[in-house]
Amino acid sequence: MPLTSDQPDFSSAVKYNRVMLKISGEALMGDQGFGLHPPTVQRIAKEVKTVHDMGVEICMVIGGGNIFRGLSGSAQGMERTTADYMGMLATVMNALGMQSALEDLGVFTRVISAIRMDEVAEPYIRRRAVRHLEKKRVCIFAAGTGNPYFTTDTAATLRANEMACEAIFMGKNGVDGVYDKDPKEHADAVRYDHVSYDDVLAKRLKVMDASAIALARDNNLPLIVFPLDEPGGFKGILAGEGTYTTVHG
């Protein structure tokens, strides 16, 4: 249902008014080993809707690793540029799946692709995308940056800066923040409440790839790493609750 003048505006009650949500393609698999798991996509869409209902303007970037990962294809002998373009197309498929789930919930959504495919997605035009956000539409940016050799982490950071987002939310499955080592393999792993961009790079903490972290650091864009599989986690952080790690300067 579109916003009307008599609907409440919660934007003053939340910490951020415009955010980027970055999730991996694997987050959409559920318990499957491949592809999209519709109940999982619907669950994530409901999390996005609860934040959207608070008046927050939302951008999204979804990886494509549940369908095809360019770097993996390259490692198996495929030409890297071709493999990366295949990975970009996988992100478009995921974006369309998320768009369908969100619109089933009544949230107007636009898929915006860095590679032109006008029959299924809008081309990326910055001013048009900003206008969609101002009209309270969720914008899902697909096909990465449109260039090989760049990850969806970098694409998310680039688009977040272009859209003037106030933070990037990194949704992780099974992890409630950034640790000094893999908590799934080390029982003594320590979680950070706050960590600097430089420490992430120096200690090679698994948050984003180095180019994405450097881009966030250079533009002073905070990263918030939180558990995507915790019900209400996304909304809770915007209300100042929950467990998460903030990466900042």
Provide the residue ranges of all domains of the chain, joining segments of one domain with +.
15-248
Looking at the chain, the whole-number percentage of residues with pLDDT higher than 90 is 76
Beta bridge partners of 195: 247
Confidence of residue 141 (pLDDT cuts 50, 70, 90): very high
Numbered residues of the known binding site: 22-25, 64-65, 69, 84, 145-152, 173, 179, 182
Residue (of 108, 107, 66, 103) closest to 87 by Cα position? 66
Residue 150 Cα distances to 5, 95, 168, 213, angstroms: 41, 18, 18, 13
**CATH top-level class for 15-248?**
alpha beta
pLDDT number for residue 8: 42
| CA dihedral sign, ordered 86, 42, 227, 157 | positive
Q: Which residues contact 188 (CB under 8 A, 6 or more apart)?
A: none
pLDDT number for residue 77: 80
| CA dihedral sign, ordered 99, 100, 104, 108 | positive
pLDDT digits (tens, 9 = 90+) for 150-160: 999 999 999 99
CA-CA distance, 241 to 188, in Å (whole number)? 25
pLDDT number for residue 72: 72
Q: What is the pTM of this model?
A: 0.90
Confidence of residue 249 (pLDDT cuts 50, 70, 90): confident
Q: Which two tokens stand for residue 180?
A: 């000094």
Numbered residues of the known binding site for ATP: 22-25, 65, 69, 173, 179, 182
Say whether pLDDT at 6 is over 60. Answer: no
Numbered residues of the known binding site for UMP: 64, 84, 145-152
E-assigned strand segments in the chain: 18-23, 57-62, 109-113, 122-123, 138-142, 167-172, 178-179, 191-192, 194-196, 223-227, 245-248
pLDDT digits (tens, 9 = 90+) for 76-119: 788 999 999 999 999 999 999 999 999 999 999 999 999 999 99
Residue 79 burial (10 A CB sphere; 0-12, 13-18, 19+): exposed
pLDDT digits (tens, 9 = 90+) for 175-186: 899 999 888 888
Q: Which residues contact 104 (CB under 8 A, 6 or more apart)?
A: 42, 45
Please state the rounded mean pLDDT for residues 217-235. Answer: 93
pLDDT number for residue 15: 86
Place of tokens 């680039």: 158
Confidence of residue 71 (pLDDT cuts 50, 70, 90): low
Report which secondary-structure segment, H or E, holds 92. Answer: helix 80-104
CA-CA distance, 100 to 140, in Å (whole number)? 11
